Structure formats: structure tokens, C-alpha cells
Amino acid sequence: MIDLSLDEGEGCKAGWPLYASPSSPLRMSKLTGIMACPASVKFEDNESSQAAETGSAVGRMIELYHLGADIDEGVLRANFPLADLDRAGKLLDAYTLDPRNPKDAVVRESLEETVTAILEPHPLDRTGLPVVLIGHLDQVRVSDAGFYEIWDVKSGRKDRQLPRYAFQLHAYCEGYAQKYPDRKVRVGGIINLVGYEQTRMEGGERNAATGRMRGAKKTEYAIGEHPVFLRSLARRSTHDLVLLEIRRTIALIRMGQNAAVPGEWCSYCPGDEFPVCLEV
């Protein structure tokens, strides 16, 4: 939650001058929402949901799988009480059966590894403070060419288009590269677990007017026609541009010039949708 007592600060008449600074670093996982709509910082909350906790639970289960450790359902239920552990377990089963995911496919120490990216302030930034981003990696895989590739696991059923998560992925990549300057690092992409869910109709009938099938849906978990590994094709120049845009957006937030950008994310904004943004 943003501390609104920071509204006054050196070089800023209004805004959040310490936002994403050394004393108040920004979580990389927040970048997807903030870069889509900078005004959302006004309404940040830490409330959980079934979707979020299911994602966290399956992420932990995948981590334990790669570590060769036992999975304790009681511990999972205690840590993620809202999670749909039945769905999480089925996603894990499909993941482990995928030949692309042997236990040794990932760099073991990268599982939930903490990284920090420190960026120079943007020229517009009146505070002069560096931009500090922190994050927890899902996994790193080493390519045949020797690149350490950053992969992020996603399990939500909402749109999983890769460009939407570019800012988060490139922040992870920058943090890892700063931590290991001797390694060749690049963005891998997203492991889209929803791709393992194969939904079909059972005993349905086609609506003559709309052409759509109506009936009971059955979801099976297996490798099917839907993509799972969504690979980034970003070049080094793309990485630099993404970091530049992050720095620029943080500069505007610190100055209080973070305008609202309406979009599909308004439907789940904690600010209670767009009309509230008009007051920001």
C-alpha cells in the first residue's frame, strides 16, 4: 500500500517522490498493472484472491518438483487457504508429464531467487533517486547457446499475451544480469499453464441461431493443441527500450503525473473502475 504521507517531497509538489526508490522499492510483479495504467498506484492493495493463491500454490508445487522435495498438501492449504488445490494439482501433473520439463531443466538456485534491479533515474525525474525494483524469479533455464533464460509461470485463465508481461519479464532479466554480470542473460518468456487445459463439450447441442455449442464442459489436463511455452523474441534494443519506459513512468508517478489509462484492467481495479480515476 502506498504511504500517502509521501505526497510532499523534494522536487515534487505532489506525487510519490520515494516511489520505487532505495527506501521504498517496487515489486517487479506490480509492473504489469502499473505500466498499463500508472494511476493504479493510487489504489494498490494487497488483498488476495482464489486465482492469485492458486497461481502461488502451483508455482510452489512446481518449485518443489524441480527440487525433488515432497509436496505437503496441509502446508499448501495453510499457506494458500483460498487456492483451488485440485486445479493446481492437475496443472502440476500435466507440467511434470511434459517432456520439456524434466527435474533438471531449471537452474536449481533460481527457484524463487530474489533479484534486485537498480536503474538510473529518467532525465525527467526531479528526485534524482535511482529506480529500485525487486522480484522473485520463477525459474531460469540454460539454452543450448548458453544463455540463462528467464521464464515466468502463469496459471490464470485471463488473457496471457506475452507482450502484456514484457515489463515484468525484462525487469527480472535486468535484476538477474546485474546479480550475475558474467552470465549471458535474456528473457525466455512465459510458461502458460492454461495451455495444458483442454476443454471440450460433452453431450452438447449447437444453437442454430448463434452456431455455439451448449452443454456440459469437461476439462482435461494434458499436452494438447494450446501453446504452453510462449517465447519472447525481444532483442537487446527492446530490453533497453522497456527499461527506459519503466524509468519514464516511475518519474511521472513520482511527480504525480500518472494519468489514468482505461482498458480491460478497469474491471478488476481496486479503485472501483474508471469513474474514480477521474478524481486522480
Cell of 118: 537498480
Distance (Å, whole) CA 14 – CA 79: 38
Query: What are the distances in angstroms from CA 71 to CA 62, 64, 222?
Result: 10, 7, 21
With 0.95 as the threshold, say if the pTM is over it.
Answer: no
Distance (Å, whole) CA 164 – CA 173: 16
List per-residue pLDDT tens for the chain, 280 residues long.
333 333 434 434 457 899 999 999 999 999 998 998 888 887 766 667 888 899 999 999 999 999 999 999 999 999 999 999 999 999 999 999 999 999 999 999 999 899 999 999 999 999 999 999 999 999 999 999 999 999 999 998 765 678 889 999 999 999 999 999 999 999 999 999 999 987 665 656 666 666 666 655 666 777 767 789 999 988 888 999 999 999 999 999 999 887 778 777 677 666 655 555 555 4
Q: Which residues pair with 12 in a beta bridge?
A: 9
Judge whether 85 and 60 are in contact, CB under 8 Å. no
Q: Which string of DSSP letters, residue by residue, matches 14-29?
A: SS-TTTTBTTBPEEGG
Helices (H), 9-150: 31-36, 50-67, 73-79, 85-97
Instruction: Give the per-residue pLDDT at 145.
Output: 95
Instruction: Give the per-residue pLDDT at 109.
Output: 95
